Chain A
Amino acid sequence: MNLVEETLKNAPKTPAQKYAAKDFQSDQDVRWCPGCGDYSILAQVQRVMPELNIPRHNMVFISGIGCSSRFPYYMDTYGFHGIHGRAPAIASGLKIARPDLTVWMATGDGDGLSIGGNHLIHICRRNLNVKILLFNNQIYGLTKGQYSPTSEFGKVTKSTPFGSVDHPFNPLLVALGAEASFVARTLDRDPKHLQVVIRRAAEHKGTAFTEIYQNCNVFNDGAFFTYTEKETKDDNVVFLEHGKPMIFGKEKEKGIKLEGFTPTVVSLKDGKYSASDLIVHNEKDTMLSFILARMSSIPDLPRPVGVIYAVDRPLYEVEVQRQIQQSIQKQGEGNLEKLLNHGETWTIQ
C-alpha cells in the first residue's frame, strides 16, 4: 500500500450522503457575465452529479484558461484551474496516478482547440476515463472578443476587422479523428438534453468528448440561436437516439436519408418516403459517426445533436495498472537494496 492509499484508508470518514444539486455549489461567487450560457451548463452539471452516487471528495474538475475554465471554482468538489490549454495533460497525470478518482474537464474552443489542441487529441487517443466538456462559443470571451478556431470564415472581430480568413475546426471531427471513444454534442439552452448527454458522458468508460454549443451573449450573441431557439430549432436540429430513425421538423415531417455517403433531407409528408428509408442512428458505427459530424459543414442540413459515437475500448490507466501488477507478479515488489546491487558489482577489501 502506498502512502495515498494508507492515508485515505485512515482518513476520518464523512457519513454517506444523499446529495442534492446545491451540495455541488461551492461558496465562490459565480463571475460569468449575466446571461452567459455557462450558467446553464453549470446548473445542469450540478443537477446530474447527485445522481451519480459518487462521493463529492472523489470528484475533481480540471480546467485550463478562459471563461469556461472558471468552472472548477464553482463546483464544491476538488478543483484545479490550470494553465491555458493544458487541462487534458493535467487530467491525464492525475487520472494515471489516481484511477480511483472521477475526473471531469471543462474547456473552451480556444483553450481546447487552439492552444491546447495537441493535448486534447492525445487524451482522446489514449482513452483515459476523463469527461471533457468543451464549451464552444466560437469566440474568445476572456480576452474580449477575438475570433476562435471554431469561428466561421469571414468572422469580423477585434483581431479580424476585415473578416477572418481562417477556416474553422469542426470539434466533433477533431475528436473522432483523434479516436475518441465517446463523442457528443448538446446545447446550453436545452437543459433537458444537456442533462441527458452529461449523464451519458458520466456513464461512459473512456474519454468522453462533449461539445456544448454555448452562447456568449457579450461577444458572439446568438451564434447558435438557429439551433437553440424555439422558432428555428425544430427545423434545424436532429436529435439523435440510438436505434431510431433520424426524423426532425416541427411536425416530425422530415427525415435524413443517405444518398451514397451523403445525408440528404427528405420529406415524410408526400408519401414518397417513410421512416424506414431514413438513417437509423447507431452510436457504435464509426463510419456513420464521421458522416454525422460532417453534416455541420453542409448548408441546409440540420445539426445532429446527442451522442454521435460511443464505443468501448481499453482504458489507458487500466493498462498502466495492469503492467504494474504483471511486473510485480513476475519480479516481486521492487526492492531498493536489490536494485542497487544487481548486475555487475565488485568488492574492495
Chain B
Amino acid sequence: MNKALKNLDEVTIRFAGDSGDGMQLTGMQFTSTTAMLGNDLSTLPDYPAEIRAPAGTLFGVSGFQIHFGSTEINTPGDACDVLVAMNPAALKVNIRSLRDGGVIIANSDGFNDKNLKLASYEKNPLEDGSLEKYQVHSVKITQLTHNALEDLGLSNKITDRSKNFFALGMMYWMFSRPLEPTIKWIGDKFKKTPEIVEANTRVLKAGYAFGETTEIFAARYEVKPATMIPGKYRSITGNEATAWGLIAASVKSGLDLFLGSYPITPASDILHELSRHKNFRVKTFQAEDEIAGITASIGAAYGGALGATTTSGPGMALKGEALGLAVMLELPLIVIDVQRGGPSTGLPTKTEQADLLQALYGRNSEAPIPVITASTPADCFFMAFEAARIAIKYMTPVILLTDGYLANGAEPWLIPQVDNLPDISPKFRTEVEGFHPYLRDEKTLARPWAIPGTPGLEHRIGGLEKQHITGNVSYDPENHEFMVKMRQAKVDHIADDLPPATTEGDEKGDLLVVGWGGTYGAIRTAVENKRREGKSVSHLHLKYVNPFQKNVGEILYNFKNILVPELNLGQLSKLIRAKYLVPAVTLNKVQGLPFKAVEIEDKIDEIL
C-alpha cells in the first residue's frame, strides 16, 4: 500500500525499553543510517546505572533519543514526536518527554500483568483511554518477531532478543530510511553466529514490511537532507572524539601517548577506545586507582610521553593532590573530567556541569591550572588536541571538562584535514651549558623539559617548593611568594595565545546568553529562535574558562543583560561576576538532564 509521504523539517524519536532490550543499539543504528542520508542530528542516550536491572522495572529503563532534520540540529530535541515503548515501564518513564499529539508505538506483548504491576500501572494504559491525547499504535512486536523466525528453530530467548530490530524496521519504514546499512552492520557484528545474522535481518525486514502492509500507521514521512558544509562526514560520540583528539596530538607532537586511568562512568569509553589503538604506540595503563592513574601519567610525562588521565567527578576529587604535584613539577599533563551528576557517587550515568569550580580550585593552596571545555561531541576532538597543545607549550597540567551528555551523544562530524590541525612542536632540552631545571622561557614562562636519559642534565624535582631557576628545594619566604605568583602568571599569560572569543548573533544588544560546555546546542537553538522573533539576544560560549579569553570582558560590557544557564547551581556565573563585576542572571538546572531549548527561551522571555 502506498501512503502519501509527508515532509518534515525535523523529528525527535525516542526508543525506550528494558536495559536488556537493546535500545542503545537500536538508537545507534537509526542514527548512523540517518547520518548517512545527510540529515543533521543530535542524540541523547539515557541509560540506567545498573548493568542488568531487573526486567520490567522503572529503574531498568534504557532510552535513546535522536533528533534529526533537514535544518540545523543542535540538541537531542526538547520533546519527542515518536516514542517507541517496549514495555509499560518504558512508557511510564518516558511519556513526559512526548509532546501532546505525539505518536506512541508500544509493544503490546510487553504490557502483561506482571509488567504493568512492575511499572505501577493499575490498568493497561493502552486500553484505558489514559493516553488519548497521543496517537497510540499497539503492535504485537514480540509475537510478530516470533512469527518471522518460526522456521529457524531458535530458542525463545534468542528470538525475543531480536525484537528491537522489528521496532527499528518500523521506524525505518515510517521515516523512509534504507535498511541496507543496518543489514550490513548486522552481518559484520554477528559474523561469528550466522543464525543471529539471519534472525536479526529477517526481523528488521519484517518490521519494515509491517509498516508497509498494515493500515495502522496513518502516515509516512520524509526528512530531506540538511544543507551542510560539503565534505566527508562521519558520526562521532564525545568520548570517541576525545580519544582521537589525544591520538592526533600524539601524532602531531611526536610524543607517545600514555593514558593512566581507572574505569569510571561515563569516562571509561575513552580508555577502551585508546586501548584499541596500540599501533599508534598508545600505552594505556589501567591503574589500581584514580591516584595511580594520574601519578603514573605524571611519571610518564616526566619521561617525555604525552601523559593523560581520564576520569569523572569522584575521580577528580581523588586526583587533587597529584594535580598539585603536576603544578609544582610543571610537567605537561592532560586531565579529562567527563562530568556526571554528583556529589559523591551521585548520578553516574547522568550529565551535569558541576565540576567547574572543582577544576579551577579543587586543590590545596594556590595551584592554577588551565581549564578548557568542549561544546559538542565532535568538539571534544579539537579541545583534547588543544589541551595537549597548551600543556606542552606551557609545561603545565591542563584540565578538559566534557560531560556525560557530550561523552555519549553523537553528531555528524565533518572529518578534519590532518594537515590543518595546529602545530604542536615540543622540544626536549639537551644542551648542558646553562641548564637549570626552573630557568623559564621568557615568552611562555615554561621551564625546560629535560627528560631522564639526557647526558649531563641529571637533576632532581619534586613536590617541595622550588627555588627560582635552580629548582632546588627552598623554604625561603620571598622565593615562595615569587614562585606562587610566577605559576599564576604563567597560566594567566596563556590568554595571550588564545583566539578571541566570538559571539553568535550581534556584538551588542539587550541580552547576552553566556554558556560553557555541553549546553552549547540548547543555548544556540534558544537564542536563534528568539532572534527569529526579533529579540536582541546573542550567545557567547566559553571554551576557555581559565584563563578567560582576553576580550570576554569587552563583549560582556556591550550587553545590557547577561544570562548564564548552567547545569549546576551557578558556577560560571560566580566566576564572571567576580572577574568582570557584571550582574549576571543565572538559570540553573540540576536534574541529571541537559537543558531543553525551551527552558532557556522562557528565561530569555522573562528578561526581555
Q: Is the interface of B mostly helix, strand, loop or mixed?
A: mixed
Q: In the A-B complex, list the 9 residue pairs whose CB atoms are closest, starting with the nearest.
A: A81-B462, A93-B299, A93-B296, A334-B280, A79-B460, A3-B254, A97-B300, A89-B292, A327-B278
How large, as a class, is the contact surface on chain B?
A: 35 or more
In the assembled complex, A161 has its CB within 8 A of some CB on chain B: no
Q: Please determine whether A94 and B299 come into contact, CB atoms closer than 8 angstroms.
A: yes
In the assembled complex, B540 has its CB within 8 A of some CB on chain A: no
Q: Which of B266-322 contact A (CB under 8 A)?
A: 277-283, 285, 287-289, 291-292, 295-305, 307, 321-322
A334 and B426 CA atoms in complex are apart in Å by 20
Q: Which of A57-95 contact B (CB under 8 A)?
A: 57-60, 62, 65, 72-73, 75-84, 86, 88-95
Q: Please determine whether A82 and B325 come into contact, CB atoms closer than 8 angstroms.
A: yes
A274 and B181 CA atoms in complex are apart in Å by 82
A118 and B456 CA atoms in complex are apart in Å by 35
Q: Please determine whether B244 and A101 come into contact, CB atoms closer than 8 angstroms.
A: no
In the assembled complex, A52 has its CB within 8 A of some CB on chain B: no
In the assembled complex, B453 has its CB within 8 A of some CB on chain A: yes
Q: Please determine whether B458 and A56 come into contact, CB atoms closer than 8 angstroms.
A: yes
Q: Given B232, B256, B288, B416, which contacts A346 in the complex, CB threshold below 8 Å?
A: B232
Of the 9-residue stretches A10-18, A179-187, A264-272, which lies at the interface with chain B? A10-18
- Specify which chain A residues have a CB less than 8 angstroms from the CB of B457 in the assembled complex: 57
Residue-wise, chain B 216-247 has the 8 Å CB interface mask toward A (1 for contact) of: 00000000010011111111000000001001
Q: Please determine whether A82 and B295 come into contact, CB atoms closer than 8 angstroms.
A: yes
- Specify which chain B residues have a CB less than 8 angstroms from the CB of A55 in the assembled complex: 455
Q: Given B260, B283, B418, B428, which contacts A3 in the complex, CB threshold below 8 Å?
A: B428
A-B contact pairs, 10 of them (CB 8 A): A3-B426, A4-B453, A57-B458, A80-B302, A90-B296, A91-B299, A93-B303, A93-B307, A334-B247, A340-B415
- Specify which chain A residues have a CB less than 8 angstroms from the CB of B299 in the assembled complex: 62, 80, 89-95, 97
Q: Please determine whether A81 and B251 come into contact, CB atoms closer than 8 angstroms.
A: no
A-B contact count (CB 8 A): 243
In the assembled complex, B93 has its CB within 8 A of some CB on chain A: no
A58 and B244 CA atoms in complex are apart in Å by 32
A280 and B345 CA atoms in complex are apart in Å by 54
CB distance from A43 to the nearest CB of B (A): 18
Q: Contacts A83-B321, A97-B283, A97-B299 hold; do A77 and B232 have CB atoms under 8 A apart?
A: no
- Specify which chain A residues have a CB less than 8 angstroms from the CB of B454 in the assembled complex: 7-8, 11, 57
Q: Please determine whether B430 and A11 come into contact, CB atoms closer than 8 angstroms.
A: yes
In the assembled complex, B432 has its CB within 8 A of some CB on chain A: yes
How large, as a class, is the contact surface on chain A?
A: 35 or more
CB distance from A279 to the nearest CB of B (A): 35
A349 and B454 CA atoms in complex are apart in Å by 52
Q: Please determine whether A3 and B253 come into contact, CB atoms closer than 8 angstroms.
A: yes
In the assembled complex, A276 has its CB within 8 A of some CB on chain B: no
CB distance from B339 to the nearest CB of A (A): 24
Residue-wise, chain B 400-432 has the 8 Å CB interface mask toward A (1 for contact) of: 000000000000000110100000001010111
- Specify which chain A residues have a CB less than 8 angstroms from the CB of B432 in the assembled complex: 12
A98 and B302 CA atoms in complex are apart in Å by 10
In the complex formed, the residue of A with least CB distance to B413 is: A340
- Specify which chain A residues have a CB less than 8 angstroms from the CB of B416 in the assembled complex: 340
Q: Given A119, A323, A339, A345, which contacts B233 in the complex, CB threshold below 8 Å?
A: A345
CB distance from A67 to the nearest CB of B (A): 14
- Specify which chain A residues have a CB less than 8 angstroms from the CB of B604 in the assembled complex: none
In the assembled complex, A337 has its CB within 8 A of some CB on chain B: yes
- Specify which chain B residues have a CB less than 8 angstroms from the CB of A331 in the assembled complex: 279
A100 and B256 CA atoms in complex are apart in Å by 15
Of the 9-residue stretches B30-38, B72-80, B146-154, B476-484, which lies at the interface with chain A? B30-38
Q: Contacts A4-B256, A80-B460 hold; do A345 and B288 have CB atoms under 8 A apart?
A: no
CB distance from B474 to the nearest CB of A (A): 12
Residue-wise, chain B 317-341 has the 8 Å CB interface mask toward A (1 for contact) of: 0000110110000000000000000
CB distance from B281 to the nearest CB of A (A): 6
- Specify which chain B residues have a CB less than 8 angstroms from the CB of A347 in the assembled complex: 230-233
Q: Please determine whether A337 and B322 come into contact, CB atoms closer than 8 angstroms.
A: no
A345 and B464 CA atoms in complex are apart in Å by 51
Q: Which of B426-463 contact A (CB under 8 A)?
A: 426, 428, 430-432, 451-463
A-B contact sample (7 more), CB < 8 A, given A93-B295, A98-B300, A323-B278: A73-B462, A79-B462, A86-B291, A327-B278, A331-B279, A344-B35, A348-B229
In the complex formed, the residue of A with least CB distance to B421 is: A336
A73 and B302 CA atoms in complex are apart in Å by 16
Q: Contacts A57-B455, A122-B292 hold; do A333 and B279 have CB atoms under 8 A apart?
A: yes
Q: Please determine whether A336 and B248 come into contact, CB atoms closer than 8 angstroms.
A: yes
Q: Please determine whether A58 and B452 come into contact, CB atoms closer than 8 angstroms.
A: yes
Q: Which of A109-162 contact B (CB under 8 A)?
A: 118-119, 122
Q: Please determine whether B456 and A92 come into contact, CB atoms closer than 8 angstroms.
A: no
Q: Please determine whether A341 and B232 come into contact, CB atoms closer than 8 angstroms.
A: yes
In the complex formed, the residue of A with least CB distance to B35 is: A346
A73 and B418 CA atoms in complex are apart in Å by 43
In the assembled complex, B255 has its CB within 8 A of some CB on chain A: yes
A37 and B289 CA atoms in complex are apart in Å by 33
Q: Given A7, A95, A101, which contacts B428 in the complex, CB threshold below 8 Å?
A: A7
Q: Please determine whether B462 and A28 come into contact, CB atoms closer than 8 angstroms.
A: no
Q: Please determine whether B247 and A4 come into contact, CB atoms closer than 8 angstroms.
A: no
In the assembled complex, B258 has its CB within 8 A of some CB on chain A: yes
In the assembled complex, B176 has its CB within 8 A of some CB on chain A: no
Q: Please determine whether B415 and A345 come into contact, CB atoms closer than 8 angstroms.
A: yes
A79 and B452 CA atoms in complex are apart in Å by 9
Q: Contacts A2-B256, A94-B302, A334-B280 hold; do A12 and B455 have CB atoms under 8 A apart?
A: yes
In the assembled complex, B8 has its CB within 8 A of some CB on chain A: no
Residue-wise, chain B 80-99 has the 8 Å CB interface mask toward A (1 for contact) of: 00000000000000000000
Residue-wise, chain A 6-48 has the 8 Å CB interface mask toward B (1 for contact) of: 1110111110000000000010100000000000000000000
In the assembled complex, A165 has its CB within 8 A of some CB on chain B: no
Q: Contacts A98-B304, A118-B289 hold; do A57 and B453 have CB atoms under 8 A apart?
A: yes
In the complex formed, the residue of A with least CB distance to B260 is: A93
A78 and B254 CA atoms in complex are apart in Å by 23
Q: Please determine whether A89 and B287 come into contact, CB atoms closer than 8 angstroms.
A: yes
In the complex formed, the residue of A with least CB distance to B252 is: A336
